[in-house]
Every structure is written in C-alpha cells, then in structure tokens.
Amino acid sequence: MSDWKQPLRLVEQLDKKGNIEDKGVDKLIDAVQEAADLSDNLRCEEFLAFATSAVRSATNAEDVLKRVEKKTGVRLRVISGEEEAKLTFLAVRRWHGWSAGRITNLDIGGGSLEMSTGTEETPDLAVSLDLGAGRLTHEWFDSDPPERKKINLLRDYIDAELAEPAEQFKAFGEAGLAVGTSKTFRSLARLTGAAPSSAGPYVKRTLTAPGLRQLIAFISRMTAADRAELEGINSDRSHQIVAGALVAEAAMRALNIDKLEICPWALREGVILKWMDHTNAGGDEGEDA
C-alpha cells in the first residue's frame, strides 16, 4: 500500500474573474503527472482521476481540463458538489456501519462544505456550499492574524449561507451519529485534545462545540506561523484553519450538533468504494466510477 498527497490549494489561485491562474494550472498539471507516473510505477490496474470544488467552480474549468489532458494524457472528471457529498457519505456509512442509524456528515474542504444525512448508503439529503476553508480565507482575510471585524462579517455570511440548508436538514430529525470528515475536522479535533494520528485510525476522536468555540477564540488571535507550531496542524493549512473553524462551528450550531465523531474515511475512500461496488456488479470500466 502506498499513500501520497500533494497540496495544491487551487482555490487560492482563482483570480477576480474566477479563473484558475496559470501558476495554479501548472501546479495541477505537475501533480496529475506525478500521480500518473506513481500509478505506473506501482503497476496500478485502475487510475481514478477526479477534480472537485476549485475546478468545478472555475470560470475557465474546461480550458484547465484540456490543458491537463494535453500535457499528461489524463482527463480529469469533475464531480458535482452533491456527488462529492454522496460519495463521502458512502465512506462514512461503510466505516460506522448500519448500527449508527441516521448519520449526519459534515466535510470541510479547501473550496467547499459538504453536508449529508441519511439512514442508508445513499443520503436523503446531500448539499454542497462554497464555504471551503481555503476559499473563505482567500476571499475574506487580508491580514495575519485576521481582523476581528472581518471575522465577525465572515461569521454572519456563513450563518446566512447555512440558514436554508439547515432548515432542510432539520426536517429529517436528529441524527443518531454526527460525523466530521476531512483534514480540517481532524486538525480541529487534535487541537482540542483528540488523539494524534500516530495513535491509529481506530481510536475514537471527537470535536465538541464548546471546545471548538474556545479554540476559535485562541487561534484567531495568532499568526499563521504561530498556529503552524501547534501540535496537530501544519504550515500548509495553518493559514486557513481559522476560516475552517468558523465554518465548523457555524454548521454545528445551525444543525444543533454538540459533538462530532471524526471519521478517518472521506471522499477518496468513497470514490474507491463506489468503483469497487460497480466493478463487482459487472459494470463497464470507468462508468459511474
């Protein structure tokens, strides 16, 4: 088994017109080529290449996809926000099992927030909002640490964006289990006292609303460099953790969630599980994978 990641932060490469700048496209091309080469070296039988929020929201998305394909031979498939939420939910359901009952899942990425709830493997409701930690940092914060006024304005904006989806979620009733996925939630849980990643994936990790509120008051006054020194966060994400924490707190408050259990599986595992299900069912290669 091999695990390789390359942070791109493409959402921070969007210009005022919503285009991914050339620097960002070049980084994407390099990452896709490196992943393809690694796949060949490891003799992988299947290569699943997909893009999420930053690409799907970019004004020049089609041009970006063509440039990537021309340079690497890989055609990225852009998945919708709803599909992203559904795939992540599938991974969460498989991890926690049927005994969890209704699951409500929250996932904060760089470009978007995915929310889903359901009692089966396909959620009853799946929503994606442009409330990613990187996107909001890029659009709202222009100082380090962020100004208190900007933080308050961003809080109001997030609350307004969540108001309508929150009412839709409440119509399904309370969840038997509220779950948080993504690196942002894992970092927030670690910063509030959860076990480190070295303890393994089977250790129960939680994030509470009171703990999160205390954390926001603490980290919002720190510079990104100082936050990077905290255990549980690295320099790649320290600049956007404040915005991520604000989204997490607002989403939990909007859905009346006091505690989240952190799940180690998320979108990547959901894509793999979906592909495995389809392959085992005898579907054509690549179809719906």
Residue numbers in the chain where pLDDT is lower than 50? 285-289
Residue 287 counted as domain residue: no
**Residue where the block lists tokens 């959860």:** 194
Phi first, then psi, for residue 246 (nearest 5°) are -65, -40
Q: Is residue 41 part of a domain?
A: yes
Residue 138 and residue 11 in contact, taking contact as beta carbons nearer than 8 Å: yes
**Strand pairing report for 103-108 and 113-118:** antiparallel
90 and 206 inside one domain: yes
Query: What is the C-alpha separation between 122 and 84, in angstroms, rounded?
Result: 12
pLDDT in tens, 228-267: 999 889 888 899 999 999 999 999 999 999 999 999 999 9
Report yes or no on whether pTM surpasses 0.75: yes
**What confidence score (pLDDT) does residue 283 get?**
57
Instruction: Characterize the bridge pairing of strands 113-118 and 125-129.
Output: antiparallel
Are 106 and 215 part of one and the same domain? yes
Domain of 168? 81-269
- Res 1: pLDDT: 67
48 and 70 assigned to the same domain: yes
